[in-house]
Structure 1
Amino acid sequence: MRLLRTYVRPYSGAITLIVLLQLVQTLATLYLPTLNADIIDKGVVKGDAGYILTTGGVMLAVTLAQVACAIGAVYYSARTSMAIGRDLRAAVFDRVQSFSAREVGQFGAPSLITRTTNDVQQVQMLTLMTFTLMVSAPIMCVGGIVMALEQDVQLSALLLAVIPALAAIVVLTVWRMRPVFRRVQEHIDTVNRVLREQIAGIRVIRAFVRDDHERKRFRGANTALMDVSLHAGRLMSVMFPAVMLVVNVSSIAVVWFGGQRIEDNGMQVGAMTAFLSYLMQIMMAIMMATFMFMMVPRAEVCAERVQEVLATDSSVVPPAADTAVSALRRRGHLELSGVEFRYPGAEEPVLKDVSLVARPGEITAVIGSTGSGKSTLLSLVPRLSDATAGTVTVGGVDVRELDPAALGGAVGLVPQKPYLFSGTIASNLRYGRPEATDEELWHALEIAQARDFVESMEGGLDAPIAQGGTNVSGGQRQRLAIARALVRKPDIYLFDDSFSALDYATDARLRAALARETGEATVLIVAQRVSTIRDADRIVVLDEGRVVGTGTHTELMGTNPTYREIVLSQLTEEEAA
């Protein structure tokens, strides 16, 4: 597998050591039956106690060397395979980190988790088994055949029937197992997806009393995984009995024909004992290879899935030459010019010829009906996705030419669905600026109208936050996300419907505090609530991905039917005036 070769190459020195240890161990294993045969034929038959003790001492030394090499081989095999698994997981994680929302949606979060954990683990196990079994198995098999021929050439003719029979069983079973294991991994993806949905949507499930429905849905996915796993298990269960049948029949044949050769004085008892040992070693080598080949189909499928992630390039292409913050000609100036955004394969673009300008010291608002492209527009500024046409400039520089760190420092995004990481309130607030002081954190919380509830929590800034912020309310999550952006102190603030979970009084206090705090920064707000954006310096109206109006609230109420319709759906004529 090309993927495995790429990540094995850095450990060539350790692999060479493993091969040498396995070689010594295998040669020692092959040498022991010959010494045993000598004791039987030369020592026991002739009654030579000295020869028996001397040869026995040699056998003990060989055995100790065999054990020492086996321990060393297993130790370095485990260490190397775990390191390769670590490197693979890190490579997948790094690649996923570079993905835009488009690539993440293409694979799906459950599948990416499965590929990073279960799939990499299967490749890692294959690597371990390769080092511990596949290195010694060919040496054992070839060496066993050579040593068996040395004991008796005529009896070795049995190998001409035994080895092809075993090879046929292995090849046929592996060929049938490969597509089954692909289905196993796909069903693991499905189980992860259903489980993830049920954990994330537990409140909705309880609210609609759909517990039984979700149990049935999970049971269906779980049963499907069990069924396909049983299919793979049945194929595996056939292989071992078939191999053992061939091994046992061949052992009987050796004893039968070997007995006849002894009776005819064609060979000695010790030689037949040694031959039987070599036959068992050959069979064991093939059985080890069989066990290995049983893992290959699943690991191969998993490697292909991991390679698929590593081979996928992000649609957000890094700049050829990073432009630093110092190169920004107009700090805080944001401009979109003729921007279009289209999803791959979509008939119509989400955004069409969108142009707007947001300046420092001003509040620019974007409003429109659901699905008009407001959140998509905002995502183009920090390059969560790239425009398929037109340009987005920050500080007078195209965002596609900016160093990601420079762009991240200039832009602070509060997403529509605020996400908090497991840790503490302080660790979440410092996510964008780790060096921020406690005083700065409290100041940001006060601006975001979050100080009161944080002070009431046990631990204050050190109060624990669960993954996703599930142990705080939606409004508290939004205010903590706003505080996180304030701590960073960017040149441009992007608020993607970030006040939707707040009551009107808190919304008003928060906007008033923000206006004082962000007076010299550029503020771009996307909102559904008219009261949130009516006092903005400039309001941009989107409809079906196009800009259909720009102006102040008063200007648009008199000239823009789309804006007027949105306003009157929320306010009366008197309130809107």
Structure 2
Amino acid sequence: MGYLFGYMKPYGKMAIFAPLFMLLEVAMDVTQPKMMALIINQGVEPMDFAKILQYGVWMMVILLIGLAAGVLCNAFASVVSQNVGADLRQDLFSRVQTFTFRELDRFSTGTLITRMTNDVTQVQNFVQSAQQMMVRAPGLALGGLIMALTLNLSLGWIVGLAMITLSVFLFFLLRFSYPLFSQVQARLDDVNVVVQENLAGMRAIKAFVRRTFEMMRFGQVNERYTNIAIKAARVMALNMPVLTLIMNSSILIVLWFGGHEVWQHTMPIGNFVAYLNYVTQILSSLLMFSVIATNIAQAKVSADRISAVLQTAGSENVVADEATDATLFGAIEADHLSFSYGDDTNHELVLRDLSFRIEPGEQVAIIGSTGSGKSSFLQLLPRLYEATRGELRVDGKAISSIPLSLLRTKIGIVLQETILFRGSIRDNIAFGSPDATVDDVMRAAKIAQAHDFITRLPDGYATRIGQRGVTLSGGQKQRLAIARALLVNPSILLFDGSTSALDFKTEKLLLQALREEKQAVTTIMVAERIASIRDKEKILVLDDGQLVGAGKHEHLVATCSVYRDIYATQMGISIEDIEKQVV
């Protein structure tokens, strides 16, 4: 939790003034019982109204000073805590932006949301408490103890015994509650993950009539969260009754022994009343320590979870203003390239020892069975993941030596899952090129075969679409994603199964427009249908992560059994007929 001091440093003046004003408020609170004793001893007992009025006015002044100090303390502490929370959220968000996909795989979406919201709120409350309650509690305890001992030293053992008993109880309470709070936050992560998945997949849930199953799944994680929260609450439920018992027992003991001293005239009645007030203040401050202990336990868990994200060394370091006017020609070379989604080489390899070369401007297709590694290879080119072994080069340079901003601005990628954002169609197409003109946006849309359906919409390019493009069909979303990739004017264009939702006529028009308009662009297309790639200059065939064939369609039909099997299945002809055609 020590790193939190660094977040408080920019607001150092307010972070200093807040506890100082709290100390002033505590000083005023500690002074009041002393003034009360003077009123009783010098005013009430001798029936001196002037003394009562004099000390009464002073008590009122002390009360007003304490009130003003408390208000100022709360104001400064609130500003500091709110700003610390805002800075933590900003740093968490910024750090997540630097994560590679491999690092993002370590944290689920639900847990990242919990850490940016609930955990930051817990830490924020702790920062505010640190400037208020954590100053007030020890201040009242120490100040009250000193003032009580100045009034009567012989009764000090009662306060000391109460403080020791409370301290031992709080120690064990904190020790048992910390692990429970860790489990509470982990279970809350599970709840958020299920909620996030459910909302994102609501259409699939309704389409497959899985409402009952999803309600049961949510009920299970919600029940686990509730059970551990109840368990933590049961432990904390001991807190207030035990502390109240100790406090009331201490006051009762003071009344017994203090009353005897009053009867024996060894302790003035005013001092006795003030002493009771100081004992109450001291024990009340120890009650605050129990609340502080709970806050610390919760904040420690949350701070550790936040720190786990902040200390994850994001591998990406994309600088927006890096020079991006350099040129990439689009020559791609894989040299004994292997890749695994795990953190080390012990995990199963998804790509195994790939070696091939793609010339600048060449149009290449990648085909293979499901799970053969097609999409995985495309994600290595813009360094969404890093290769496990071997090397991937662009224009003869290892991609690890090319600045990320340059590499990614020269690569246009249409991912397997089409992601659109809430906003206008124009904004979505210009997502990677926010300064693009309307003509540039329209030109990219025409190549992507999206212009016609866009102009038929009520507001054309200004038409607003819902989150993830829910108001558009699958084919329309794919065409917008393709237009977005084209608008960045890439040197390398990657299609990850991104024409699967298009009809054959639209796909044919799209591929023809790409050949005419983007002749100098190296194009790599992951495809499922041989009919859409048979005219490509080069086709790479992957099987179980290995390159088993490379060449044009006719060559692969004749020489690659994997390709021939796919071709036979899709064309509805037998292997024997294909072999006769080859002969």
TM-score of Structure 1 vs Structure 2, range by shorter chain: over 0.9
User: Offset of 1:327 from its aligned partner?
Assistant: 5.2
Aligned to 2:188: 188
Range 357-366 or range 98-107, more displaced:
357-366
Note the alpha carbon deviations across 1:200-228, whole angstroms, 9 max, x for none: 22222223222112111111111111111
For the 8 Å contact 1:319–1:402, the answer to whether it is kept is no
**Count of aligned positions:** 574
User: Offset of 1:158 from its aligned partner?
Assistant: 1.0
| 2:205 alignment partner AA | I
For the 8 Å contact 1:350–1:372, the answer to whether it is kept is yes
User: Offset of 1:326 from its aligned partner?
Assistant: 5.2
Note the alpha carbon deviations across 1:365-416, whole angstroms, 9 max, x for none: 1111111111110001111001122222234332212222111211111101
Q: Does 1:374 align with 2:374?
A: yes
| 2:336 alignment partner AA | G
Range 356-365 or range 166-175, more displaced:
356-365
Query: Identity over the aligned pairs, expressed in percent?
Result: 37
Aligned to 1:487: 487
For the 8 Å contact 2:429–2:441, the answer to whether it is kept is yes
| 1:118 alignment partner AA | N
For the 8 Å contact 2:99–2:316, the answer to whether it is kept is no
Note the alpha carbon deviations across 1:273-326, whole angstroms, 9 max, x for none: 111111111112111111111122222112111111122224x45599x98445
Q: Does 1:151 align with 2:136?
A: no
| 2:334 alignment partner AA | L
Note the alpha carbon deviations across 1:514-547, whole angstroms, 9 max, x for none: 2222122111111111122111111111111121
Change (3 A) 1:317 1:483: closer
Q: Does 1:96 align with 2:130?
A: no
Q: What does residue range 174-573 of structure 1 map to in structure 2 within 5 Å?
A: 174-314=174-314, 316=315, 318=317, 324-325=323-324, 328=327, 330-342=328-340, 343-345=342-344, 346-572=346-572
Change (3 A) 1:129 1:306: same
Q: What does residue range 66-105 of structure 1 map to in structure 2 within 5 Å?
A: 66-105=66-105
Note the alpha carbon deviations across 1:459-491, whole angstroms, 9 max, x for none: 222222222222222212111110111111111
Aligned to 1:56: 56
Counterpart secondary structure, 1:569: helix
Aligned to 2:110: 110
| 1:535 alignment partner AA | D
| 1:352 alignment partner AA | R
Q: In 2, Cα distance between the equivalents of 1:394 and 1:14?
A: 53
Q: In 1, Cα distance between the equivalents of 2:394 and 2:108?
A: 31
Q: In 1, Cα distance between the equivalents of 2:395 and 2:277?
A: 79
Q: In 2, Cα distance between the equivalents of 1:473 and 1:168?
A: 65
Q: In 2, Cα distance between the equivalents of 1:326 and 1:19?
A: 53
Q: In 2, Cα distance between the equivalents of 1:323 and 1:352?
A: 34
For the 8 Å contact 2:538–2:552, the answer to whether it is kept is yes
Note the alpha carbon deviations across 1:412-432, whole angstroms, 9 max, x for none: 111011111122212211110
Range 460-469 or range 376-385, more displaced:
460-469
Change (3 A) 1:194 1:323: closer
User: Offset of 1:257 from its aligned partner?
Assistant: 2.0
User: Offset of 1:572 from its aligned partner?
Assistant: 4.5
Q: In 2, Cα distance between the equivalents of 1:427 and 1:298?
A: 42
TM-score, length basis structure 1: 0.95
Q: In 1, Cα distance between the equivalents of 2:318 and 2:201?
A: 38
Note the alpha carbon deviations across 1:29-75, whole angstroms, 9 max, x for none: 11111111111111222333333222222222221111111111111
Q: In 1, Cα distance between the equivalents of 2:435 and 2:323?
A: 20
For the 8 Å contact 1:122–1:299, the answer to whether it is kept is yes
Range 15-24 or range 374-383, more displaced:
15-24
For the 8 Å contact 1:340–1:389, the answer to whether it is kept is yes
Range 294-303 or range 66-75, more displaced:
294-303
Aligned to 1:125: 125
Counterpart secondary structure, 2:495: strand
Counterpart secondary structure, 1:107: coil
TM-score, length basis structure 2: 0.94
Q: In 2, Cα distance between the equivalents of 1:470 and 1:225?
A: 32
Q: In 1, Cα distance between the equivalents of 2:430 and 2:151?
A: 75
Q: In 2, Cα distance between the equivalents of 1:235 and 1:90?
A: 34
| 2:144 alignment partner AA | G
Aligned to 1:16: 16
Range 480-489 or range 156-165, more displaced:
156-165
Structure 2: gaps (5+ residues): none
Q: In 2, Cα distance between the equivalents of 1:129 and 1:524?
A: 57
